[in-house]
Structure 1
């Protein structure tokens, strides 16, 4: 069952993406001039979704990664158009054989485990002739809630016990042989439209390398990826779930139920679906998933939508997995990352920035390292951003300006030393947006830090603190330093909402001048820096290492 807009999510996930609920409401436009022109049709609500997370275990870094990506893009859509509504849909999946077995192991009922029930799934697919009853035999992974063809399973040997068992070559999870009667969805009927959609430009599945791999797999002569899909399980085997309408002997397959939740959160097809009917919410502008569940979102969901004559998602962003210190995370190895502890040490916004800077390259896996988190905080956040802020808000330097308004006034005479920096700043919003549009999140953040690094170099070169510094050097150093921070703080609002607000407050930037249209050099408006006593990125005392007795 879906819990939309963070309800019932673990508090750690809510903390990482706090305040996104407000995105469903347009910002105040009271400052806009009055107009007698007819009201324009409101822009389509930006609709982003995350996977529906299983509740059988605590949230991990993969959950944070998916949720944070969806949150960042929702915030970015609002930054570019404050009048646009935005909805981020996330929640938990509380249904399936995995949940039933976990509940049994705990000696409680699935309902007690999840404290929830799901509404009956109205199967319009059946009335359209896309579902039929058949028998099935194959390898099933309880952990993945998925069947795998013979070509995608292999025998493995447990390193510790020496036990031999069959496992999925795709996910590494144990599979078991099952033979049963169930209902099937005619997935094979949508082979051609699915391939047409996957190969359309721009690629709906990102990054493009995953589109290429998926299409290559689908077009291979031995491919079974588009065989008809089993969408139910005998209730004798799976009692915890949603009964098939008019056939209580079967329970609906967890993935079909889960995928339909993206529709129901948009209002389809029950009361409250008026926005859906107008196309104001559906289709999703962005669906974020891990690379291990591509098939469900790039094949099964689009096929269901095609069967229902509904628009397909605009973009499916498939991100990589996380390793820890270059090793695959595993409980047996003892190297499972706990980003929630890091959030307590370094702060939520610092971890948001780190996860997106390191994990923002969705084409590859990302490595989680406590050492790298510390380096990123000290060198990039405090060393680049924090250091530049301290420099340009020092009262002693500000007093060296001939007039206060020079701080936000573009110099009329630029020198050779300014050329590299001003070019970076003029291109920064476009560069930043281009990288986000191509889902290269890490490059967007890198572009901002490139500008910060150049601005620090520029200030050091002009050395406005020297008694010999000319009025022009003082003006140019403080103006460009302040402008770099203003642009950085404005652009990074989707990534570090709390720290961006603090940064812009310390610079004295008017809250009404923190939108996308203000991201132009020299257009930040009048401001008086008010740094206060608190540092933007304060020093963090590292905990003492635990010494074994």
Structure 2
């Protein structure tokens, strides 16, 4: 079976997102800044003369967000993951186009009811809240290519075409259905996952889903169904394949185990419409206005819409130019929609399946699940205003970069990360290697960017870390171990600070060699970190490179290795800090 096959095989090979080829660029770098090559045991990617690697664009997607409420920190986390990987793809291969899409899911019974409760039209509600998600993307410096709304005409055309194609191929039939329906999740819930609960505050009894805690209500209706069960074996083979499409592997294994359980209902035929009398806010079933297309089928098609589907001519993207997605970022609570329903539909349409689905955990606050009733929902706008955009981008990726588990949002942890890692490691090292009192001790200004001709024992630990860093960073990102990629960078910075402290170039007794090695390796550690971290902290990485005097043409992936920074440009003395101090009391009050 697929589960046993998955469990028995070795961990998958780490696959690079793209192939960036060097050669002439590396030779040019060596000519400008000759460097000594220190042997390492790491295998690096094969590199050739830079050429366009593929005509297909790199394509990353976020889930489209439901507009029943304003965005929260979890929405920002999902969007940042896609943004980081898209920026990384552009950094790795600037000649390959990269497309990122995000957007809002605007149909469904939940939207209809929220609008009714507010006394406004559903479209007005969608317009208002959708704009807030655009505001969040702008505030967080998300470099998306497209923001899609499911109320757009181009999306309706794509959804209707999908329906007609599925129907034409015999994958849709009409039936009746009854069961427990969770309006907040827009999904039916199996009987085995339903129980009666009592509200702790009001004492009210109601029926809820045991997995999510959301209320459910009994529904009985005639609707259309999709023959999901017909694709069971193909889905199991795909999920258990060596390409490991669902990441992290722990969730892939859990999903396969659930699917192979004898009582599993996850691959039963899927109800894909609602009577218009119950749900009017949505896309009508083609040729049957008495039924509205199920909101999840509507929503999942958005990824195809962006890619130009149905490719009849005149679209922005031709078939195969963008589709399939290289990366789809989703929360762990919507795995089955993206790892079962969407792939089954794609198989039914004879379309390629997504390459990777990155399923991340949820955010808690001080170890409690975020909820409006508890009053512990983190406001991403306030957090970015207080700590700065790039600091929050780094924090969310460092703490939330382990997608296999949930992440805890804590004002104290943000402060610790800012002070210890950003200001304490990166900022402190920058101050040390750029202070005029030390740089004027160099026998020549060129020594700041010139590799020492001889290493001492005190240098070897740091040099090994720096030699290994680019490949380690890339491998961890390719394995979706984002927190480990960032940890590797900060480990190198910590060692660089220890190295400077050990050599103590500020002492009158420091030799010219000590001064040279301390400033060169300290500066190189920062430069390499800045090049690698551009997808994570684009503004601060650029600022750091400018403060180091690295010319813009040396900010590329081609110059990520030790000694490839080139000649530094002259910098005027400045009092600016890369990571300025922040008042703790204010932080605690606003977070």
User: Taking structure 1 as the reference length, what is the TM-score of the superposition?
Assistant: 0.91
CA drift at 1:292:
0.3
1:532 aligns to 2:574 (yes or no): yes
Preserved CA contact (<8 Å) 1:182 1:231? yes
CA drift at 1:274:
6.6
Shift of the 41–78 alpha-carbon distance from structure 1 to 2, 3 Å rule, reads closer
Match of 2:391 in 1: 350
Match of 2:356 among 315, 318, 334: 315
SS of the counterpart of 1:289?
A: strand
Match of 1:378 in 2: 419
Match of 1:465 in 2: 506
SS of the counterpart of 2:196?
A: strand
SS of the counterpart of 1:143?
A: coil
In 2, distance between residues paired with 1:139 and 1:546?
43
Q: Deviations over 1:239-272 (max 9, x none)?
A: 1111100000000000001101100101111444
Preserved CA contact (<8 Å) 1:142 1:175? yes
In 1, distance between residues paired with 2:499 and 2:234?
54
Q: How many residues align?
A: 514
Match of 2:262 in 1: 221
CA drift at 1:169:
2.1
Shift of the 545–201 alpha-carbon distance from structure 1 to 2, 3 Å rule, reads closer
Match of 2:64 in 1: 52
SS of the counterpart of 1:51?
A: coil
1:414 aligns to 2:426 (yes or no): no
CA drift at 1:171:
1.7
Query: Where does 1:117-128 land on structure 2 (aligned, <5 Å)?
Result: 117-118=152-153, 119-120=156-157, 121-122=160-161, 123=163, 124-128=165-169
Query: Where does 1:501-512 land on structure 2 (aligned, <5 Å)?
Result: 501-512=542-553
- Mind listing any 5+ residue stretches in structure 2 that lack a counterpart? 1-24, 28-48, 128-150
Match of 1:366 in 2: 407
Match of 2:182 in 1: 141
CA drift at 1:481:
0.2
CA drift at 1:543:
4.5
Could you tell which deviates more after superposition, 318-327 or 339-348? 339-348
Preserved CA contact (<8 Å) 2:411 2:588? no
Q: Deviations over 1:152-189 (max 9, x none)?
A: 22222111112221211222211111000000000000
1:81 aligns to 2:123 (yes or no): no
- Mind listing any 5+ residue stretches in structure 1 that lack a counterpart? 1-30
CA drift at 1:339:
2.7
Q: Deviations over 1:124-161 (max 9, x none)?
A: 11111110100000110000000111112222211111
Match of 2:339 in 1: 298
Could you tell which deviates more after superposition, 108-117 or 213-222? 108-117
Shift of the 294–544 alpha-carbon distance from structure 1 to 2, 3 Å rule, reads closer
In 2, distance between residues paired with 1:546 and 1:536?
22
CA drift at 1:545:
8.8
Preserved CA contact (<8 Å) 1:507 1:529? no
Moved >3 Å (runs of 4+): 39-43, 115-118, 270-276, 542-547
In 1, distance between residues paired with 2:392 and 2:511?
41
SS of the counterpart of 1:79?
A: helix
Preserved CA contact (<8 Å) 1:459 1:481? yes
Shift of the 529–166 alpha-carbon distance from structure 1 to 2, 3 Å rule, reads farther
1:260 aligns to 2:301 (yes or no): yes
Preserved CA contact (<8 Å) 1:170 1:292? no
Match of 2:475 in 1: 434
Match of 2:248 among 195, 203, 207: 207
Could you tell which deviates more after superposition, 289-298 or 157-166? 157-166
Structure 1 vs Structure 2 CA RMSD: 2.0
1:67 aligns to 2:79 (yes or no): yes
In 2, distance between residues paired with 1:546 and 1:365?
22
1:93 aligns to 2:105 (yes or no): yes
Q: Deviations over 1:215-257 (max 9, x none)?
A: 0000000000000001000000001111100000000000001
In 1, distance between residues paired with 2:567 and 2:418?
30
Q: Deviations over 1:40-98 (max 9, x none)?
A: 67442110000110111000111011000000000011111111111111000110001
Match of 1:235 in 2: 276
SS of the counterpart of 2:301?
A: helix
SS of the counterpart of 1:527?
A: coil
Shift of the 173–349 alpha-carbon distance from structure 1 to 2, 3 Å rule, reads same
SS of the counterpart of 1:323?
A: strand
CA drift at 1:519:
1.0
CA drift at 1:509:
0.7
Shift of the 341–529 alpha-carbon distance from structure 1 to 2, 3 Å rule, reads farther
CA drift at 1:275:
3.7
SS of the counterpart of 2:113?
A: helix
SS of the counterpart of 2:584?
A: coil
In 1, distance between residues paired with 2:120 and 2:372?
25
Shift of the 276–99 alpha-carbon distance from structure 1 to 2, 3 Å rule, reads same
Match of 2:119 in 1: 107
CA drift at 1:108:
1.3
